[in-house]
Amino acid sequence: MINKLVNEIKKKNAPIVVGLDPMLSYIPSHIVDASVAEFGESLEAAADAVWKYNKAIVDAVYDLIPAVKPQIAMYEQFGIPGLNAFKKTVDYCHEKGLVVIGDVKRGDIGSTSAAYATAHLGKIKIGSKVFTPFDEDFATVNPYLGTDGIKPFVDVCKEEKKGIFFFVLTSNPSSGEFQDRTVDGRPLYELVGEQVRKWGEDCMGDAYSYVGAVVGATYPEMGKILRTIMPKTYILVPGYGAQGGKAADLKPYFNEDGLGAIVNSSRGIIAAYKQDKYASFGSEHFDEASRAATEDMIKDIASIF
Amino acid sequence: MINKLVNEIKKKNAPIVVGLDPMLSYIPSHIVDASVAEFGESLEAAADAVWKYNKAIVDAVYDLIPAVKPQIAMYEQFGIPGLNAFKKTVDYCHEKGLVVIGDVKRGDIGSTSAAYATAHLGKIKIGSKVFTPFDEDFATVNPYLGTDGIKPFVDVCKEEKKGIFFFVLTSNPSSGEFQDRTVDGRPLYELVGEQVRKWGEDCMGDAYSYVGAVVGATYPEMGKILRTIMPKTYILVPGYGAQGGKAADLKPYFNEDGLGAIVNSSRGIIAAYKQDKYASFGSEHFDEASRAATEDMIKDIASIF
């Protein structure tokens, strides 16, 4: 799957991923109203609105981008109907040929991690039949429980030719409270980065490992160091745009080949119509605003090479 | 909710929680076969079997115990039908008066953590109506993203009078790879423990904080230190029984008042009928085996005081 991701990035010349993280407040009222008219004021209505909003955005941008990253929390908050909308979104993005990165940040110990790995990347056998529960292509995973917690994810990736992004350094202001603490003279995130590189060494695709890392765009100096520590690790970079990361800051995350990193934008794309810059599209044409914002992001990122 | 948990522990004289972590391999074949006969070989059949198995165990033990801890990964692996079984289990345990600790180990940055907190502990408004998506009483949460990642959970707890257990030191063999690393001359888990104490200081119930910690039974020396660092923090202790933790090791996790800790057993209770000790019940009477194992666990833990 890492080979597919790299090939799609090259083909579309766009090292970007659109974060499908719908908040109800982003969804234009004509969509929400129609869903409420059909399902009443209910979790089902919210989930239906989320799904229709996602579908319109995917239809508007799928030919420009290699991948999407739905953040499962935004669906889980609408309970079971929300998770149905998540699954419909994953399936629809596959139909459109997109790589799907499930931003699930799961992680636990042994058998529990194995169950999460099955849920998001694997297969489960019931009697003589085999099912793929959520069926993303990549999942984001928490590495802080150590090797026996992450091994089940790596094992499933090998078996299914799927991928993982371990979060190494997050983009939030408080990430440093633990992740930056000095261990043996070096920050903890460097140790985690080294471990991620090791975990990835026997999971190689053609040029990059199936085992990737999440490193926030908001800390480019640290991104530079982690790039060196993990040369064959794909880096998923959140924090561009709304969280303050700028294109000029992103260069250190890439390798000389112009590959090795994929930059996420969520709000900046999916709620583009709410920005002054794209306001002229109006909420009726939110999907066209998203397309314009995607084109601008691709140009912005291309400018650094 | 911490007050309710403490009161139930006192009333039932049982500082224990039963982990409802069903694997298909634990479920007696007469239950699985009946579900497959009804739903075919499908995720729905697996989820139905899980739910029936849980219900029988809850019916057999609810009067002995204060709380249950369903591990959501074990449900998520059966996709949407599995999560339906999770929700039915949460609701049924509430009907039986049990405190429900959702072992979800969620955690992310800002708005994403807020969505997870809403999903598991909070409420969401759709138009004029308010919904509680999963509605657990406590949730386990990953603290490694720092204050801005955990604040939304703490905020929801204050508002809803619910609770959190942050994982500080996990029970698995590799937990030390990052959690034990020395930071400023002390292991990282101590720093996390101190932070958990601080986060909990303005979320006090009568004697203990709404903000608790997960500390594995497999490291009693570290448990002792963390008990001292976090005197008013309830400690959820996994790793007893199947993972190797023994009653004698558990004393350091408790305060002098005999409170302050709640010990989890999952497999040891729910799959008791598979142990030699309880084999005479047979798989037909797996629920009675679970009750006998619960009574034995309560006695075993009482022996340390």
**pLDDT tens across B36-67, in order?**
999 999 999 999 999 999 999 999 999 999 99
**Pair B28, B279: CB distance under 8 Å:** no
- What pLDDT is attached to residue A181? 84
Under a CB-based contact definition with an 8 Å cutoff, are residues B119 and B164 in contact?
A: no
Q: Which residue has the tokens 């739910």?
A: B51
Give the pLDDT of residue A11. 97
Which residue in B74, B172, B176 is closest to A109 by CB distance? B172
Helix (H, G, I), strand (E, B) or coil at B103: strand
Choosing from A10, A105, A151, A232, the catalytic residue is A105
Q: How many CA atoms lie within 13 A of B279 on its CB side?
A: 4
Residue A152 lies in a domain: no
Question: Is residue A225 included in any domain, yes or no?
Answer: no
Residues 6+ apart with CB under 8 A from A24: A32, A46, A49, A50, B126
The fraction of chain B above a pLDDT of 70, given in percent, is 100
**Does residue B278 surpass a pLDDT of 90?**
yes
| Residue among B108, B103, B100, B107 nearest B140 (CA) | B103
CA distances from B299 to B9, B294, B295 (A): 14, 9, 6
Cβ separation of A77 and B124 shorter than 8 Å?
yes
Between strands A99-106 and A124-126, the pairing is unpaired
For residue A96, being part of any structural domain is answered with yes
Q: What is the DSSP letter of A209?
A: B
Cross-chain CB nearest to A142 (options B23, B131, B142) = B142
Length of chain A: 305
Output the CA–CA distances (angstroms, integers) from residue B190 to B109, B196, B230, in the order listed. Answer: 22, 10, 10
Half-sphere exposure of B163 (CA within 13 A, CB side): 26
Query: CB–CB of B45 and A148 under 8 A?
Result: no
Is B80 in Cβ contact with A170 (below 8 Å)? Answer: no
- Of chain B, the end-to-end C-alpha distance in Å amounts to 25
Q: How many CA atoms lie within 13 A of B245 on its CB side?
A: 30
Answer whether A19's CB lies under 8 Å from A270's CB.
yes
Q: Which residue of A lies nearest to B78 if distances are taken between CA atoms?
A: A133
Asked if residue A20 is part of any domain, the answer here is yes
Contact check, Cβ <8 Å, A124/B43: yes
Burial bucket for residue B266 (CB in 10 Å: 0-12, 13-18, 19+): buried
Would the CB atoms of B106 and A108 count as touching at under 8 Å? no
Residues 6+ apart with CB under 8 A from B162: B1, B121, B136, B137, B138, B139, B156, B210
By the CB < 8 Å criterion, does B171 face chain A? Answer: yes
Reference A198, options A147, A156, A160, A274; nearest CA is: A147
How close are the terminal C-alpha atoms of chain A, in Å? Answer: 25
- The secondary element (H helix, E strand) that includes residue A257 is none
Q: Quick check: A134 and B24 CB within 8 A?
A: no
d(CA B112, CA A100): 18
**Beta-carbon separation of A41 and B127 below 8 A:** yes
Task: Find residues 193-232 of chain A whose CB sits inside 8 Å of chain B.
Answer: 195
Whether the CB of B76 is below 8 Å from some CB of chain A: the reply is yes
Report residue B166: phi and psi, to 5°: -85, 135
Distance from CA of A10 to the nearest CA of B (A): 30
Closest-approach residue (CA) in chain A for B132: A79
Pairing of strands B16-18, A186-187: unpaired
Q: Residue B143 pLDDT > 80, yes or no?
A: yes
Report how far residue A196's alpha carbon sits from residue B235's, in angstroms, rounded to the nearest whole number.
30
Interface check for B182 against chain A (CB to CB < 8 A): the answer is: yes
Cβ contact B87–A79 (<8 Å): yes
Decide if B178 and A143 are in contact by the 8 Å CB cutoff. Answer: yes
Higher local confidence (pLDDT), B76 or A143: B76
pLDDT higher than 80, residue B212: yes
**Contact predicate A134/A90, CB 8 Å:** yes
Following CA atoms B43, B46, B50, B51 in sequence, which dihedral angle do they give, to the nearest 10 degrees? 60
Sign of CA dihedral A140, A143, A149, A150: positive
pLDDT value, residue A179: 82
pLDDT at position A196 is 95
Spatial distance between the Cα atoms of B131 and B122, rounded to a whole number of angstroms: 9
Closest residue in A to B21 (Cα–Cα): A112
Q: Is the dihedral of CA B290, B292, B295, B297 positive or negative?
A: negative
CATH number at residue B136: 3.20.20.70
* Cα nearest neighbour of A184 on chain B: B182
Of A71, A74, A112, the CB nearest to B71: A112
Distance CA B252, CA A293 (A): 57
Of the residues B177, B190, B243, the best mutation for testing chain A's interface (the one with the most A CB atoms within 10 Å of its CB) is B177
Average pLDDT over residues B219-246: 90
- Antiparallel, parallel or unpaired: β B163-169 and B138-141: parallel
Of B177, B191, B195, the CB nearest to A146: B177
Residue range B161-180, pLDDT digits in tens: 999 999 998 888 888 888 88
Q: Identify the H or E element spanning A118.
A: helix A110-121
Specify the DSSP element, H or E, that contains A58. helix A43-61
Chain B interface, best mutation among A109, A111, A215, by max B CB count within 10 A = A109
Which among A41, A128, A181 has the least Cβ separation from residue B41?
A128
Model confidence at B185, pLDDT cuts 50, 70, 90, reads: confident
CA–CA min distance A46, chain B (Å): 7
**A186, A226 Cβ separation under 8 angstroms:** no
Residue written as tokens 């990736």? Answer: A157
For chain A, say whether B303 makes contact (Cβ under 8 Å): no
Q: CB distance B45–A179 less than 8 Å?
A: no
Residue-wise pLDDT tens for chain A (305 aa)? 899 999 999 999 999 999 999 999 999 999 999 999 999 999 999 999 999 999 999 999 999 999 999 999 999 999 999 999 999 999 999 999 999 999 999 999 889 999 999 999 999 999 999 999 999 999 999 988 888 889 999 999 999 999 999 999 888 888 888 888 888 888 989 999 999 999 999 999 999 999 999 999 888 999 999 999 999 999 999 989 877 778 889 999 999 989 999 999 999 999 999 999 999 999 999 999 999 999 999 999 999 98
What is the crossing angle of helices B147-160 and B188-201, to 10°? 40
Q: Give the DSSP per-residue string, B141-174.
A: E--TT-HHHHHHHHHHHHHHT-EEEEEEE-SSGG
* Nearest alpha carbon to residue A27 among A57, A58, A70: A57
Q: What's the total number of domains in chain A?
A: 1
B176 touches A: beta carbon within 8 Å: yes
Burial label for A185, CB within 10 Å (0-12, 13-18, 19+), is exposed
A186 Cβ under 8 Å from any chain B Cβ? no
Q: Please tell me the distance from the alpha carbon of residue B225 to that of residue A16, in angstroms, as a whole number.
A: 46
Residue A44's domain comprises: 1-106+268-300
- Single out the residue of A46, A55, A52, A54 nearest to residue A24, CA to CA: A46
CA-based nearest distance A160→chain B, Å: 16
Give catalytic residues of B, as residue numbers: 105
B61/chain A closest Cα distance in angstroms: 24
Query: Given an 8 Å threshold on Cβ–Cβ distance, is A78 in contact with B111?
Result: no
SS3 A7: helix
**Among all residues of chain A, which has the CA nearest to that of B177?**
A146
Instruction: Name the DSSP class of B205.
Output: -
d(CA B160, CA B154): 10
Residue A75, pLDDT score? 98
Question: Is A178 close to B146, i.e. CB distance below 8 A?
Answer: yes
Answer whether A83 sits within 8 Å of B82, measured CB to CB: no
> Which is nearest to B302 in space by CA: B261, B268, B258?
B258
* Chain A 97-126, residues with CB within 8 Å of chain B CB atoms: 105-113, 115-116, 118-120, 124, 126
Whether A295 and A10 have beta carbons less than 8 Å apart is answered as no
